[in-house]
Amino acid sequence: MSEKFKVALVQTCASGDMQQTLVRAEEMARQAAAEGADLLQFAEFFSCYDIDDEGIHTGPLPEESHPALPLFADLAKELGVWIDLGSITVPAPDGRAYNRQYVIDDQGIVRATYEKIHLFDVNLGDDDRYRESASLAPGERAVVTDTPWGKLGLSICYDVRFPHLYRDLAKAGADFLTVPAAFTHKTGQDHWHVLLRARAIETGCFVLATCQSGRHGKARTYGHSLVIGPWGDILAEGPEDEEAVVIAEIDPAEVAKVRARIPALKHDRPYDKPEPAKADAAE
């Protein structure tokens, strides 16, 4: 297992003004590198967070012309850091967009991409509703990629509510799980810490979860970006309504130590599943 390294969660408050948002994101990336970070992670929709009153996302840009990609590829090479871009929206073949995550190495090369699999279609009450599937297309592929410190398993935001995805990532060798997010304030205050700690405990992985913070028009995100150890302990946490660079030192050797204490991944067994419940005929 590799040596210890520093991760920086770059917690921003993205707006619908992409140019302004990217300027601020670059400033904070430079701050993170100056503080010794080796791996930087941004939040979901880090370059532009623009949704309408129905929770529908607007404004995807083609990958080849998206300003965030060359900007942060060049920055990764200049600063000598790896960058998890969180996510941006790029057009999908069906006319919607993919919510796509990018992992860029310290030479400015894209090492992996991942499209968010699970889409946030919910009604939280009080006119607080989201319909991601109206504008976003789901991904179809789970992704694990190599880094100098171990294997990184990729996910985005609402994926965190589907634990089987993370168990599959861990069984594929993931040591660290990414969960860049734009968690709503309402769900965040009740579920954010619990879900992320559970995913760490279940898999024996580190969890890196950068969340947007503050207000974005009518929307409000939760902040509280978290670095969680494989035992489920919180190693670092961001503020609620402010931008911040949250740094933690990570020892990859802790993954093997925790899994040796509770080898739950090895104890998995196949079993006969019960039949799915049938919908009530009256519904």
pLDDT tens sequence for the chain (283 residues): 579 999 999 999 999 899 999 999 999 999 999 999 999 999 999 999 877 666 566 678 999 999 999 999 999 999 999 999 999 999 999 999 999 999 999 999 999 999 999 999 999 988 788 999 999 999 999 999 999 999 999 999 999 999 999 999 999 999 999 999 999 999 999 999 999 999 999 999 999 999 999 998 888 999 999 999 999 999 999 999 999 999 999 999 999 999 999 999 999 999 999 999 987 644 4
* Residue whose structure tokens are 């992985």: 205
Q: How far apart are CA 68 and CA 70, in angstroms?
A: 6
Q: Say which DSSP state 189 is in.
A: I
- Residue 278 belongs to some domain of the structure: no
The pLDDT of residue 49 is 87
The pLDDT of residue 127 is 79
Domain count of the fold of the chain:
1
- Residue 277 belongs to some domain of the structure: no
Query: DSSP readout, 224-256?
Result: --EEE-TTS-EEEE--SSS-EEEEEEE-THHHH
Identify the active-site residue in 13, 48, 115, 116: 116
List phi, psi (to 5°) of 27. -55, -45
- Residue 272 belongs to some domain of the structure: no
The pLDDT of residue 283 is 46
The pLDDT of residue 260 is 98
Q: Is 211 marked active-site?
A: no
Identify the active-site residue in 157, 205, 240, 243: 157
Global confidence as pTM:
0.95
CATH number at residue 148: 3.60.110.10
- Residue 271 belongs to some domain of the structure: no
Q: Is 116 marked active-site?
A: yes
The pLDDT of residue 55 is 59
- Residue 280 belongs to some domain of the structure: no
Domain membership of residue 201 as a residue range = 5-266
Q: Is 205 marked active-site?
A: no
- Residue 73 belongs to some domain of the structure: yes
